[in-house]
A = this chain, B = another copy of it.
Amino acid sequence: MKNSLHIYNTLSRKKEHFEPWQPPFVGLYACGPTVYGNAHLGHARQAVTFDVLYRYLTHLDYKVRYVRNITDVGHLENDADEGEDKILKKARLEKLEPMEVVQQYMNAYHRNMQELNVLPPSIEPRASGHIIEQQQLVKKIIDTGYAYETNGSVYFDVLKFNEKYAYGKLSGRKIDELLGNTRTLEGQSEKRNPIDFALWKKADSSHIMKWPSEWSEGYPGWHLECSTMSLKYLGENIDIHGGGLDLLFPHHECEIAQNVAGSGKEGVKYWMHNNMITIKGQKMGRSLDNFITLDELFEKGHRLVSRTFDPMVIRFFILQAHYRSTLDFSEDALSASEKGLQRLQDALFILDNLQASSKGVVNAEELNEKCIRAMNDDLNTPVLISHLFDGVKTINSVQEKRISIDQENLDHLKDIYNTYVHSILGINPFVKDSSTTGISDKLIESILQLRQKAKQRNDWDTADEIRNTLQKMGISIKDKKDGVDWEFM
């Protein structure tokens, strides 16, 4: 049962049985962020998707080496080969040294990932930290004849590659169509063909992030880093390479071409892509002004939502859709997820305090098998969650003494929820960890309820005492017609 994981391979357009090259070892590479701005919902979805994969593979007892990179150089605007480096542009606008920009947004990304309970990868290599290795791969590709130098820049020769191999294999694009779609932009005359892509770019004199090479003082092309770093840390046979669907073309297509041209091997056995987040049906983008960062969602607020949401709600919201479906964002959808998560968390509380009977009718293993089947079916988290909600009904029925459960099944049930909710879905337990804000809020609400009851029985001394106690702790309360508001002063 445990070994029947199937995952959808973008390369074959099919669900395939997952068999790593060298079990029990699994090499997993997922594209990380270009650190020139705050992380947004799209970053959250990609990170959570591959975090759950990482967690599930680990749960299946695979020894996973998970590599997720940081792009801190070479990613030009519009993902093209011309234009300004995204980080340099930000550095210019914010008048900072580029590496200060990188550090600032990398730290912010790490903070957001921690808030989302995304586990850190085993290795998090940075593009700027692997310039020599990238230059070595460029040399190899020149040596095999699939790259050429023009004016100090080196380009990948797509047409020549396509004569022997299939460029477009992963994304399903056809060379002829690609050729028809390209526009010739200024400076592209360096390329033999507009669909060639840069491996090494000569830097102009004002460019700050550049390194010496045998071709020019320059910097690596964006696609090159992922080929280089996956090769360095996972070898030529990588089990899984993941990323957002927006990276499928040209980024991943170019990676395959680089791998094949450099080593003769495609490198990756399973390509996995998570789908995009839409905002009320529209694509999310800076240009559409519907761009929501995680900081805005968690604490700062945004015009598209009337309030902020706990990071665990966002995580749960993401997991309630299958990773290959688009996920439409709206406040209503988030609020629904919040209620669902609350119901699940409440059930976990109840479960923790449930009493077993000498005999019972609950069969926990049935639920367990359904959960395994859902996860083994291409990480079907929405189905998994629906099974867990079925179990919530069972838990509530036991609590209400409408049905009974024996000790063995109770223990098994606790184990199932702990495993799936906490270990695999990565939902933080709420209460036992007193460092989450959740508990303080809950405690304050409880104290206020006590005060409310004291007032109802005209016990004004207790009511005042509670108010004073809270005030001493920096919490102010305000009586309203329909209840009480409170806030940290």
Which of chain B's residues have a CB closer than 8 A to the CB of A304? Answer: none
One of B107, B123, B434 near A440 (C-beta < 8 A) = B434
Say whether, besides A129-B129, A132-B211, A439 and B440 are in contact (CB < 8 Å).
Answer: yes
Which of chain B's residues have a CB closer than 8 A to the CB of A99? Answer: 123, 125, 233
One of B97, B352, B435 near A436 (C-beta < 8 A) = B435
Which of chain B's residues have a CB closer than 8 A to the CB of A103? Answer: 120-124
| A448–B352 CA distance with the chains assembled, in angstroms | 23
Copies in the complex: 2
**In contact, B462 and A454 (Cβ under 8 angstroms):** yes
Query: Does A415 interact with chain B (Cβ within 8 Å)?
Result: no
Query: Does A128 interact with chain B (Cβ within 8 Å)?
Result: yes
Query: Does A453 interact with chain B (Cβ within 8 Å)?
Result: yes
Chain A, interface SS category = helix
Query: Does A443 interact with chain B (Cβ within 8 Å)?
Result: yes
One of B122, B211, B431 near A474 (C-beta < 8 A) = B431
Which of chain B's residues have a CB closer than 8 A to the CB of A474? Answer: 349, 352, 431-432
Contact mask for chain A residues 456-489; partner B; CB cutoff 8 A; 1 contact, 0 none: 0001001001100111111000000000000011
Which of chain B's residues have a CB closer than 8 A to the CB of A437? Answer: 434-435
Which of chain B's residues have a CB closer than 8 A to the CB of A465? Answer: 450, 453
| A124–B125 CA distance with the chains assembled, in angstroms | 14
Which of chain B's residues have a CB closer than 8 A to the CB of A454? Answer: 462
**In contact, A434 and B469 (Cβ under 8 angstroms):** no
One of B107, B125, B446 near A120 (C-beta < 8 A) = B107
Which of chain B's residues have a CB closer than 8 A to the CB of A129? Answer: 126, 128-130
Indicate the size class of the contact surface on chain A. 35 or more
Contact mask for chain A residues 293-311; partner B; CB cutoff 8 A; 1 contact, 0 none: 0000000000000000000
Query: Does A324 interact with chain B (Cβ within 8 Å)?
Result: no
Query: Does A442 interact with chain B (Cβ within 8 Å)?
Result: yes
Query: Does A444 interact with chain B (Cβ within 8 Å)?
Result: yes
**In contact, B132 and A431 (Cβ under 8 angstroms):** no
Query: Does A279 interact with chain B (Cβ within 8 Å)?
Result: no
One of B97, B431, B435 near A473 (C-beta < 8 A) = B431
| A447–B442 CA distance with the chains assembled, in angstroms | 12
> Which of A120, A441, A446, A469 counts the most B-chain CB atoms under 10 A from its CB?
A446
Which of chain B's residues have a CB closer than 8 A to the CB of A449? Answer: 469
Which of chain B's residues have a CB closer than 8 A to the CB of A466? Answer: 450
Query: Does A369 interact with chain B (Cβ within 8 Å)?
Result: no
- Given contacts A103-B122, A432-B474, could you give 20 more A-B pairs where the C-beta distance is less than 8 Å? A97-B122, A97-B123, A102-B123, A103-B121, A110-B110, A132-B212, A136-B212, A353-B472, A432-B489, A435-B437, A435-B440, A439-B473, A443-B447, A443-B473, A446-B473, A447-B447, A450-B462, A453-B465, A459-B462, A462-B462
A residues touching B (Cβ–Cβ < 8 Å)? 65, 97, 99-100, 102-103, 107, 110, 120-126, 128-132, 136, 211-212, 233, 349, 352-353, 431-432, 434-437, 439-444, 446-447, 449-450, 453-454, 459, 462, 465-466, 469-474, 488-489
Nearest 9 interchain pairs by C-beta = A129-B129, A434-B440, A443-B443, A431-B474, A446-B469, A99-B123, A434-B437, A439-B440, A100-B122
